[in-house]
Amino acid sequence: MQSHLSFAHFHSEEAAYAYVEARLWPNGPVCPHCSATMEKVGRLLGKTNRLGLYKCYACRKPFSVKIGTVFESSHVPMRVWLQAIYLFCSSKKGISIRQLQRTFQCGMKTAWFLGHRVREAMRDLGIDIPGPLGGANQVVESDETWIGGKAANRKGKIPPKAIVLSLVERSGKVRSFHVPNVTAATLGSVITANVDRASFLMTDDAPVYSGIGRWFSGHGSVNHSAEEYVRAYFWHTNTVENFFSIFKRSVYGCYFHVSEAHLHRYAAER
């Protein structure tokens, strides 16, 4: 049995650097300052040098694989970064900052820093990938959900629930957005900016979607109020609803309270 937790890159700093370098530099090291490669860059192997340090002979500057990544200017060992990323990616219900702190036996500040950098990177993966979701012959489901605890569990003034709009490419990518309201203008601007026009858009039968749907090559809507959840194999919004159920479980089951300011980060994690 080969447990993922025994991988060398989770335990040895050298293996951790080799792991990250192999992924970011599949064709060998690249100088982040001047893009020099091959024989123009060399590894600094002296005992006094930090691990993973390279020198560029073209621009004469030192560099490591950390420059320009989430690992930049952090003193957290690379193997701990990889452990943190593994925990985030492998936990269906998410990892709380407190849990990171207990697992790594580190201070709250370090745990917070690690957690938010990893979430930020995952958000970028979801939202900043060039190009829209979907395309010809692809279905993109869109739905909104309201996030916030029950009024009875709260002290004092009840803050309004936060709205999350998620766009899910069937068996593909997910993008989630924290939106201020569910008007046609708000949803329309997010959806048209993120979904390829050639896609088939699948939604519930909320009236706001009838106009937005015309923008796409096709639009299907499911009448939830009439309990018509799955009209046919193809005609449903179960993918996005399934996403929401996992997302909500992670918010309620793990984070307890998600502040509005950070909601988009948690949404990106799924």
CB of 76 to Zn ion, least distance (A): 26
CB of 68 to Zn ion, least distance (A): 13
Site string for Zn ion, 47-66 (x = CB under 5 A): ---------x-xx-------
Distance between first and last Cα of the chain: 28
CB of 35 to Zn ion, least distance (A): 7
Contact status: 31 vs Zn ion (CB under 5 A): yes
Which is closer to Zn ion, CB of 41 or CB of 111? 41
Which is closer to Zn ion, CB of 56 or CB of 202? 56
Which is closer to Zn ion, CB of 28 or CB of 172? 28
Which is closer to Zn ion, CB of 63 or CB of 200? 63
The whole-angstrom separation of Cα 26 and Cα 68 is: 16
Tell me, letter by letter, the H, E, C secondary structure of 9-59: HHCCHHHHHHHHHHHHCCCCCCCCCCCCCHHHEEECCCCCCCCCCEEECCC
Q: Binding residue for Zn ion (CB under 5 A) from 16, 30, 36, 78?
A: 36
* Beta-bridge partner residues of 177: 165
The whole-angstrom separation of Cα 113 and Cα 110 is: 5
Q: Binding residue for Zn ion (CB under 5 A) from 7, 10, 12, 33?
A: 33
The CB density around residue 83, as the number of other CB atoms within 10 Å, is 22
With CB under 5 A as the contact rule, which of the stretches 34-42, 65-73, 162-170, 211-219 interacts with Zn ion? 34-42
> How many residues sit in the footprint of Zn ion (CB under 5 A)?
7
Half-sphere exposure of 59 (CA within 13 A, CB side): 12
118 is written with which tokens? 């990893």
Is the separation of the CB atoms in 222 and 204 below 8 Å? yes
CB of 44 to Zn ion, least distance (A): 14
Contact status: 30 vs Zn ion (CB under 5 A): no
Which is closer to Zn ion, CB of 34 or CB of 184? 34
CB of 74 to Zn ion, least distance (A): 22
63 is written with which tokens? 């560099």
Q: Which of 73, 75, 85 is nearest to 20 (CA)?
A: 85
In the complex, the residues that contact Zn ion under the rule CB under 5 A are 31, 33-34, 36, 56, 58-59
